[in-house]
Amino acid sequence: MHKSTAIYRSPDEIINLKIRIRIREVGGGGDDPLEEIQTFRWQQKIFGQFERGFYLDRKNCATELERKYHAEVAKLSEKSNVVFSYVNDDGYEGVDDNCGKMHLMADLGDSQATNLCTVTYDPARKVLTMRPDFTQSEPYRIHIEGDVKRIFQYRIDDVSEKIPFDAQLKENEILDRINLHQQKLKLDKGHAGFELPGKNKLDVCLYLEILAARNFENDNVYVQYFIDLPAHWSCKNSDALKGCTQTSIRANSEDGAAHFGLPFEICLEYDVQRMDEEEILKSPYVYFEAVSKDSWDHFRTEGLAYTILPVTQAGVYSYELRCLRICPEGIACNLRRFFIGDFSNYDHITWASLPREPREGRMNRYGVLSVGTGEISVRVSVLQQSQAFSEDFASENGNRQRKFLLDKLNTSVLIKSIEQVVAAFKVAKRKMVEARKNV
């Protein structure tokens, strides 16, 4: 019969396992054929004929285990067993730290003992491996070659005691509770320190990186940033809304870029309930100011730039922001910029865009001369988090709020895309007009 290995997942304790070996000689045994039945529990030691003779001699027993075996063998009867076992302590095939092994052997008069079955148990996964499997129909056969050819048949049967049906149901119920508790512990451990946003809040985590600045008039440049929050937006750490990079010297490359690689993280919070008051979700802006510093500690504004933060759609965005600055009028202003700097030309870094509250209700920049300068490279990664996105937020009211939130965000993305198209059209139109003038 073909021998195959079987793997069983057993929720029961391994100490309840009982295996019965029944072996008998079916050919070449003469008038007194061999036959024996032996039942084993997990890690039960039964001595073979060779082991009996070896451990019976006190001189062969040096270790504590060998002395223990000597005491056990001395109490046994003179009749030896054909079927015996090797357990973990015997180290028959080495020791596995993770799994326990037990070998069921037979002394069939050959030069070496015959391995009838190997049982392996993994306590962590509760997996039992039988090699070969329990006998299903036809018994296994062993052929011993010699002066007389001998043939043996043997069976491997699972004779573990079956628990009553009611006790089995109760045990399964207890095991289910244990599994649920273990799963809950894993979930709790995984969520430890993970703070969820409020039910009516939209959290937007921004990971910004100021990469480089290039094509500015002076060297030794650093960049300041400021994030301007519209109504209904907030930030727990208000200090993170502004900051600056280190000073960087232009690299010896074709574009002469000053590299910063400054990352910073900001988590913004929006009150979802306020969306009813706004037709379009107002997005925060981020402003940048490139400043140079000379060896006399004189500071000069090299350029201002700004962009809307893409809070309405998660993703990774890269920007090349064109900068401008006020152009000094007259020789005196130019000399002042050259000798002592012009770091105080603006009331605020937001000067380059529409102010939140114009003075006297209107804004007038008529006659202000400005000049285009360099560029600032920025990368923004956006992550959105809200309980309205969760599958667990499945009530009727929750579904309405989720749809409302997604519609608002999608509308904002559409408006932003239209604004980008219009802005690109204006740039293209200006370039076309300039090209016609030069013709």
Burial of residue 298 (number of CB atoms within 10 Å: 0-12, 13-18, 19+): middle
β pairing state of 233-235 and 100-106:
unpaired
Do the beta carbons of residue 24 and residue 35 sit within 8 Å?
yes
Q: How far apart are CA 117 and CA 112, in angstroms?
A: 15
Residue ranges covered by each domain of the chain: 6-46+81-158, 163-189, 201-354+368-386, 400-438
Name the percent of the chain lying above pLDDT 90. Answer: 24
* Beta carbons within 8 Å of 329's beta carbon, 6+ residues apart: 369
- Could you report the per-residue pLDDT of 267-313, keeping only the tens digit for each? 998 877 766 666 667 788 999 998 888 888 888 888 889 898 888 78
Task: Give the per-residue pLDDT at 333.
Answer: 72
Mean pLDDT over 206-213 rounds to 92
Torsional sign, CA 239, 221, 230, 379:
negative
What is the β-pairing status of strands 127-131 and 114-122? antiparallel
Residue 211 CA to residue 318 CA, distance in Å, equals 10
Average pLDDT, the chain: 80
User: By mean pLDDT, which of 106-120, 247-261, 322-336, 347-361 is the weakest?
Assistant: 347-361
Q: Is 414 helix (H, G, I), strand (E, B) or coil?
A: helix
Q: Look at residue 405 and tell me whether its pLDDT is greater than 60.
A: no
What is the Cα–Cα distance from 261 to 145, expressed in whole angstroms? 78
pLDDT band at 392 (very low <50, low <70, confident <90, very high): very low
Identify whether the C-beta of residue 28 lies closer than 8 Å to the C-beta of residue 149: yes
Q: What's the average model confidence in pLDDT over 18-38?
A: 85
Closest CA to 56 of 71, 41, 40: 71
In the predicted model, is pLDDT for residue 393 greater than 50?
A: no
- Domain 201-354+368-386 fold: Immunoglobulin-like (2.60.40)
* pLDDT over 50 at 122, yes or no: yes
Give the residue among 333, 290, 327, 282 at the shortest CA–CA distance from 308. Answer: 282
Task: Over range 30-47, report the average pLDDT.
Answer: 88
Cα–Cα nearest to 273, from 346, 201, 359: 201
- For 6-27, write each residue's pLDDT tens digit: 999 887 889 999 999 999 988 7
Complete DSSP assignment for 134-197: PP-SSPEEEEE-SSS-EEEEEEEEE-PPPPPHHHHHHHHHHHHHHHHHHHHHHHHHHTTT-PPP
In 3D space, the residue among 408, 162, 106 whose CA is nearest the CA of residue 275 turns out to be 408
As a whole number of angstroms, the distance between CA 156 and CA 144 comes to 19
**How much is the pLDDT for 396?**
46
**Predicted pLDDT of residue 415:** 44
Q: What count of Cα atoms within 13 Å lies in the side-chain half-sphere of residue 274?
A: 12
Pairs from 320-323 (Cβ < 8 Å, separation ≥ 24): 320/375, 320/376, 320/377, 321/288, 321/375, 321/376, 321/377, 321/378, 322/372, 322/375, 323/216, 323/288, 323/290, 323/372, 323/373, 323/374, 323/375, 323/376
Per residue in 154-197, pLDDT (tens digit) is 999 999 888 777 877 887 888 888 888 888 887 776 655 567 77
